[in-house]
Amino acid sequence: MQPTPSWIESANDPAGGFPLDNLAMGVFSETDGRKRLGVAIGDFVLDLSRLEEEGLLALAGEPVMNRGAWNGVMALGPAKWDEMRARLRELLGEGAPHRPAVERALVRRAGIRLHLPFDVTEFTDFYAGRHHAENVGTMFRGPENALPPNWLHMPIGYNGRASSVIVSGTPVRRPWGQIKGRDFAAPILSPSRRFDFELEMGAVIGRPSRPGEPVPTEEAERMIFGYVLLNDWSARDIQAWEYQPLGPFQAKATATSISPWIVPRAALAPFRVPTPPREVPLLPYLAEPHPMGLDIALEVALVADGGEEVIISRTNARELYYSFPQQIAHHTLSGCPMRVGDLVGSGTISGPTRESRGSMLELSWGGAEPLELPGGITRSFLEDGDEVIFRGAAGGPDLAISFGECRGRVLPAIEKPFWME
């Protein structure tokens, strides 16, 4: 595929990641601090509030582009999303009308600050990557019991914390928690010693479902406004002590980082692929009428305490055993309503090789096989000062649809408050 030509030259760079075919959506501000909606195009962001003021973009009877989140646009529904996308492609494509007015609405991306792109209503994290589930299960239960009996029949998930979802670039402080090692007679209160990242993607729900009504996978797909990169930071030692019988709690509550750009569902439609072959048949409500997986190349870079950046993992979103529409269909099966602004995490996306594992837990095999980095540095889990960087893109050398980056640096735990003594 070749990029759709634009009169903005930098948008025609095949490797640039933000061509006219993408139109990734974010929230930005300049020196005045005022948040407004924009789309990435080449080296620029197009200020949609400016277009709206000029009368070049009108989706509703009132302004919706001068807000600090995309929820208002999402609430307008899929027909308006398509209308907005078609209008922006018209204004930014070759031979576009109103070019001088559009040029006035362009701001260089290098000089802006990016914010959380939408107000997160709820957050659900799934466990939809088979390689990750098998790796973790093998470490804790042995290869013969790696997958729980229900795993091949339905997407497993848990309700997370929307309040701790943060935008890329926000530092993450090492959490405190109860920890009980194998040789401990009782748990201790300590900062996490096995702090970790999880390479995930997130689906942003832009269309709600009705309470009490399950939705089929095809309708679930149409509920998705777009996708983000997602790092569900995890305290493995806290989780090991707390997760039975109800699953993760404090271990996953510290922070969930997402990329600042929402890549539209429409931009990724050409990159849909089948989900992996099924070992056992799924129940009919999880049937996929067409390919619903996504071919998105993903990578993880680690900057160890201010050193050089090292790529430590490369994998692909097509490794997910359950697609996002299947996850959403299962989420609504009980009648649970999805709301505008819900965030659905995929779970860790790992591949079949060590170099494609999506967490430090897997890369170091629980600490037994530490990663060796340049300069004689080793890592089993994340240390204070380490920075984790996720990148993702669909396409290839002729056309890249980029998610940008999802970054986070680990800060030391707070000093132990006196009342914890």
Q: Where are the beta strands (DSSP E) in 233-348?
A: 234-235, 256-258, 263-264, 272-273, 293-294, 296-303, 309-316, 343-345
Where helices occur in 245-331 by DSSP H, the ranges are 265-268, 324-331
Concerning whether 132 is annotated as a catalytic residue, the answer is yes
- Asked if residue 390 lies in contact with residue 298, where contact means CB atoms within 8 angstroms, the answer is yes
Strands 293-294 and 272-273: antiparallel
Phi, psi of 156 (to 5 degrees): -90, 140
Where helices occur in 298-407 by DSSP H, the ranges are 324-331, 360-363
Element (H, E) at 165: strand 165-167
- Asked if residue 293 lies in contact with residue 275, where contact means CB atoms within 8 angstroms, the answer is yes
Paired tokens of 397: 């050398």
Closest CA to 301 of 363, 234, 368: 363
Cβ-defined contacts of 55-63 (< 8 Å, 24+):
56/87, 56/91, 56/98, 56/101, 56/102, 57/84, 57/87, 57/88, 57/91, 59/83, 59/84
Closest CA to 23 of 225, 295, 294: 225
How far is the C-alpha of 226 from the C-alpha of 262, rounded, in Å? 6
Which of 98, 131, 132, 153 is catalytic? The answer is 132
Within 10 Å of residue 418's Cβ, how many Cβ atoms? 6
| Bridge partners (DSSP) listed for residue 409 | 387
Strands 256-258 and 263-264: unpaired
Q: Which residues are catalytic?
A: 132
